[in-house]
A and B are shown apart, each in its own frame.
Chain A
Amino acid sequence: MSLRLGAMLPEVLRHLFKKPATVQYPFQKIGVPKGFRGKPVMDPNLCIGCQMCVRDCPSEALEIHKESESTDEAGKVTKRFSMTFYLDRCSHCAQCAEVCPKKAIHMDTEFEDAAFDRGALKLTYK
């Protein structure tokens, strides 16, 4: 192969007439794919309080608390659980959603989760 001075020049000149490769975020957004791993969201109606999500979370970002326990006339016990979730610790691995036997957790597609106040990153699902 012979050497050519300015071998990249034609390419560079061509690009003067092409549209930019980047978008003007935050005015323009390109969106995220279907399976994007945002933050976990828990549905308390499905949770049975098995604590599997808490046990597997690598970042200690989850807590499950018992909210109430009631017994109806037939003697059937109904328990409700809430989840406290610390977004500032979460590493978005989706292991909690994977391990939940009741599919009570799913990952949302939010990607603009930053906050100035750490307290705002503590979320409760109940």
Chain B
Amino acid sequence: MSTFILPVGPQHPALKEPTSFRFMVDGETVVDADLRLGYNHRGIEKGCEERTYIQDLYMLERVCGICSNVHMTVFAQGVEKLMGIEPPKRGLFIRCLMGELERVHSHLLWLGVAGHEVGFDTFFMYTWRDREIVEDILEMISGNRVNYGMQTFGGVRRDLDEMQIKKALEGIAALKARTPYYLNIGATEPTLVARIAGVGKLPKEKALELNAAGPTTRASGVDFDVRKDDPYAGFGEHIPFNIVTDEGGDVLARVVVRAKELMESYNICEFILKNLPAGEIRVKAPRKVPEGEVVSRAEAQRGECIHYIRSNGSDKPDRVKVRAPTLANWPATLYMLRGGYVADIPIVMAAIDPCLSCTDRMAVISDVRKGTEQVMDWEGLRRYGIEFHRKRGIKL
């Protein structure tokens, strides 16, 4: 068998963001796949150490354009835990509402992108048209269409009035009537089904072993969802919902899971809007955060989003670490690509809804064969960083 390596990226017309793939191909078949990350290091984590907590909120909101609210939520609830404050119930409900509305916009966006990747642009246009409904709701509530800036320490920044609740419910009802149609198309349009059924297979054991996250793992039959397994904000005791899973483990199953999750999210939104508790939306938060460390997580639309925050008692964090869900899904994606066709690469990758720039942190390439791997402690890393910049003539 003769194979050759097909390099894709870091700059490639088919990639929207920089990353580097190496596909070992035998004719049309992908024999092996490898990935190099680290081309889009934005210094966000270091930036957080230089700014105050309140400034970091807005900075972390910009880790991702699609899951902006989730990063803000995870950071806010982590810092709240350190501060020892608890947002009022109304604030928590609105926090959940924003998360679900964001999931709706993101899943509709993804359905369109998936359609586009397999050449079904009609699907793309209709889902994106309907996505405008939820975008309008988000804009009405928060004052912006992308970075909502709704979360803050101790609750949320804006309240909902009766008029907004009414309008939001109308919008949700329209989407609720519309979404089963997409589910139906996804499952009955023969050209679409033929294109995505059986493609990018990920069996349940592999999903667990490779630690896949979000709809990717749920489409392989793993019923993991942070909203259920480690409830945050209003989830758990107050807000009812079901985890959607599918046994298919292919791209079709991922389409089905996301479409059904949309229906679940509409139900959650309706429940929140109809049962919004009265009272305050936020409590006062101190400027300085007591010493300590915390791990905070939430279910982003792409999977589990984790932040680690360490505080030294001042108004600036000592360390912030962000793990975006895409990072968890890369090993599974490489598995899915193996044995598939070259022509399936775009849709298999799109099916995890990847976000490369959100995932990228500083990467150190170590040569395993030469044994150049090393472990550094905090002080060592600091010294290394200072040396690194000095050598390049940067005054510190």
Contacts and interface: CB of A to CB of B under 8 A. Distances in A.
Interface of A: 1-8, 11-12, 21, 32-33, 35-37, 55-59, 91-95, 98, 107
A8 B143 contact: no
Interface stretch (B27-35, B51-59, B237-245): B51-59
Given A4-B189, A8-B189, A33-B140, A91 B54 contact: no
Given A35-B158, A37-B149, A56-B54, A1 B143 contact: no
Interface in B132-191: 132, 139-144, 147, 149, 157-158, 181, 184-185, 187-191
Nearest to B132: A21
B381 interface: no
Interface in B180-208: 181, 184-185, 187-191, 193
Contacts of B61: 93
A6 B57 CA distance: 47
Interface of B: 51-52, 54-59, 61-62, 122-123, 126, 129, 132, 139-144, 147, 149, 157-158, 181, 184-185, 187-191, 193
What are the nearest 8 A-B pairs in CB distance?
A58-B55, A3-B190, A37-B143, A58-B58, A35-B143, A7-B189, A33-B140, A21-B129
Given A92-B144, A98-B157, A3 B193 contact: yes
Given A36-B143, A58-B55, A58-B59, 5 more contacts: A1-B187, A3-B189, A21-B132, A58-B58, A95-B149
A26 B58 CA distance: 30
24 contacts: A1-B187, A3-B193, A4-B188, A7-B184, A7-B189, A8-B122, A8-B123, A11-B126, A35-B143, A35-B158, A36-B139, A55-B52, A56-B52, A56-B54, A57-B55, A58-B51, A58-B55, A91-B62, A91-B147, A92-B147, A93-B58, A93-B149, A94-B143, A98-B157
Interface of A is mostly: loop
B158 A91 contact: no
Give the most central of A2, A57, A93: most B CB within 10 Å.
Answer: A93
Contacts of A59: 58
Contacts of A2: 188
Nearest to A9: B122
Contacts of B58: 58-59, 91, 93, 95
A49 B139 CA distance: 32
A121 to B, nearest CB: 19
Contacts of B55: 56-58
A4 B190 contact: yes
A63 B392 CA distance: 33
Contacts of A107: 143
Contacts of A55: 52
Contacts of B193: 3
Contacts of B51: 58
